[in-house]
Amino acid sequence: MCGRYTLAHTHREIMERFGLEQLQLEFDPRYNIAPSQTVPIIIKQLINDSTQPRLVLEIASWGLVPAWVKDPRLLRPINARGETLVEKKTFRGAFAKRRCLIPADGFFEWTGTGKKRQPILFRVNKGELFSFAGLYEFRTSPEGEVQRSCAIVTINANEKIAPFHDRMPVILTPDAEQHWLDSEIEDPTLLQPLLKPLDNDLIDFFRVSTIVNSAKQDVPECVKPLEASEIVESAF
Roughly how many angstroms between the first and final C-alpha of the chain, as a whole number? 20
Q: Residues 109, 137, 150, 222: which is the catalytic one?
A: 109
Output Rg (C-alpha) for the chain, integer angstroms: 17
Q: Are strands 106-111 and 118-124 parallel, antiparallel or unpaired?
A: antiparallel
Cα–Cα–Cα angle for 198, 199, 205, nearest 5°?
85
Can 109 be counted among the known catalytic residues?
Answer: yes
For 160, residues 6+ apart whose C-beta sits below 8 A from its C-beta are 122, 200, 203, 205
Closest CA to 94 of 43, 157, 18: 43
Contact criterion met (CB below 8 Å) for 41 and 150: yes
Half-sphere exposure of 82 (CA within 13 A, CB side): 26
Q: Return all residues near 116 (Cβ < 8 A) that are at least 6 apart.
A: none
B/e letters for 171-195, b = 16+ CB within 10 Å, e = fewer, are bbeeebbeebbeeeeeeeeebeebb
Residue 2 annotated among the catalytic residues of the structure:
yes
Among 25, 35, 27, smallest CA distance to 5 is for: 35
Catalytic residues: 2, 109
